[in-house]
């Protein structure tokens, strides 16, 4: 199935992406800046799961960004939509097979650490997989990667150093944090957020960990940038509004795009 999807994309464009970019909730604006773009609806790629989440359009955009060949997933599949874990990472595997050497993941998340505020962009330094599953469960496909892949440098330290340099160039502040991946679709309870904080989580969201597990399995280098769209449950005396999550994500898009415009040519 992966090879069929690769063939379908190759029949539309001969571009070989250097990087695969996954755009999170409300963060789709980056894709509009891709030049000579070939936009392929997910429904036209065999095996590719539809993106049904709000704020995810469901289009693969292949083209050049800041002179770099990229394949951009405008919308992703989440476990909470009911997809099996290996389906959630189908797109990442296809783009890896298509030749992307680096995966850049973005996401919207809740901020747990006290110094974080809505609108902040944060580099993911590591993750806690609290989703209770992994895309690597099941028979190992040796053509993708090894049975027991190492995750020591899952969020590549060199790429993080590069991202910090790039943030400084565009006068953006960028902290780092540990991303806790939650199954959802309900936001966490305040008690769960206290648990995650105790475990060392700074950020919480419902994506990213499966994609990074699959990408590392294939040997891609990974960089993940989170947009804090809200403070996590129980941190502030107010409920989490999913509409507001999208609004804050949309407000951060230009900063995210400016940062990626610095990073991508240096990959």
The reply on whether position 6 binds ligand HPA by CB under 6 A is: no
Other residues' Cβ atoms within 10 Å of the Cβ of residue 92: 27
71 vs 204, which CB is nearer to ligand HPA?
204
Other residues' Cβ atoms within 10 Å of the Cβ of residue 77: 27
Q: Residue from 110, 118, 135, 210 that binds ligand HPA (CB under 6 A)?
A: 110
CA distance 56 to 13: 23
Name the one range near ligand HPA by CB under 6 A: 40-48, 49-57, 171-179, 203-211. 203-211
**Which residue number places its CB atom closest to ligand HPA?**
110
Q: Residue from 92, 104, 235, 245 that binds ligand HPA (CB under 6 A)?
A: 245
The reply on whether position 253 binds ligand HPA by CB under 6 A is: no
Name the one range near ligand HPA by CB under 6 A: 36-44, 165-173, 228-236, 258-266. 228-236
60 vs 204, which CB is nearer to ligand HPA?
204
135 vs 205, which CB is nearer to ligand HPA?
205
218 vs 232, which CB is nearer to ligand HPA?
232
Encode burial over 16-45: b for 16+ CB neighbours within 10 A, e otherwise: ebbbbbbbbbbbbbbbebbeebebbebeeb
CA dihedral 20, 61, 185, 196 (to 10 degrees): 30
CA distance 131 to 255: 29
25 vs 59, which CB is nearer to ligand HPA?
25
Cα 51-192-56 angle, rounded to 5 deg: 15
Write down the least CB distance from residue 240 to ligand HPA, Å.
5
Rg (CA), the chain: 17
Residues in the site for ligand HPA, rule: CB under 6 A?
108-110, 182, 187-188, 204-206, 229-230, 232, 240, 245
């Amino acid at each position: 199935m992966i090879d069929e999807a690769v063939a379908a994309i190759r029949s539309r464009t001969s571009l070989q992406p250097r990087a695969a970019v996954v755009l999170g909730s409300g963060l789709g604006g980056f894709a509009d800046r891709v030049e000579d773009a070939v936009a392929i609806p997910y429904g036209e790629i065999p095996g590719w799961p539809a993106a049904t989440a709000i704020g995810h359009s469901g289009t693969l955009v292949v083209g050049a960004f800041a002179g770099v060949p990229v394949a951009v997933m405008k919308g992703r599949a989440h476990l909470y939509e009911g997809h099996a874990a290996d389906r959630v990472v189908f797109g990442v595997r296809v783009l890896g097979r298509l030749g992307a050497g680096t995966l850049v993941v973005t996401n919207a998340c809740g901020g747990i650490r006290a110094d974080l505020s809505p609108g902040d962009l944060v580099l993911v330094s590591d993750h806690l997989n609290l989703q209770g599953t992994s895309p690597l469960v099941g028979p190992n496909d040796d053509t993708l990667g090894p049975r027991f892949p190492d995750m020591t440098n899952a969020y590549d330290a060199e790429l993080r150093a590069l991202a910090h340099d790039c943030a400084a160039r565009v006068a953006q502040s960028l902290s780092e944090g540990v991303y806790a991946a939650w199954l959802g679709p309900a936001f966490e309870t305040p008690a769960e957020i206290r648990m995650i904080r105790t475990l060392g989580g700074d950020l919480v969201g419902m994506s990213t960990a499966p994609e990074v597990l699959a990408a590392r399995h294939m040997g891609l280098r990974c960089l993940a940038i989170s947009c804090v769209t809200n403070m996590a449950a129980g941190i502030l005396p107010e409920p989490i509004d999913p509409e507001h999550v999208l609004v804050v994500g949309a407000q951060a898009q230009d900063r995210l795009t400016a940062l990626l415009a610095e990073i991508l040519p240096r990959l």
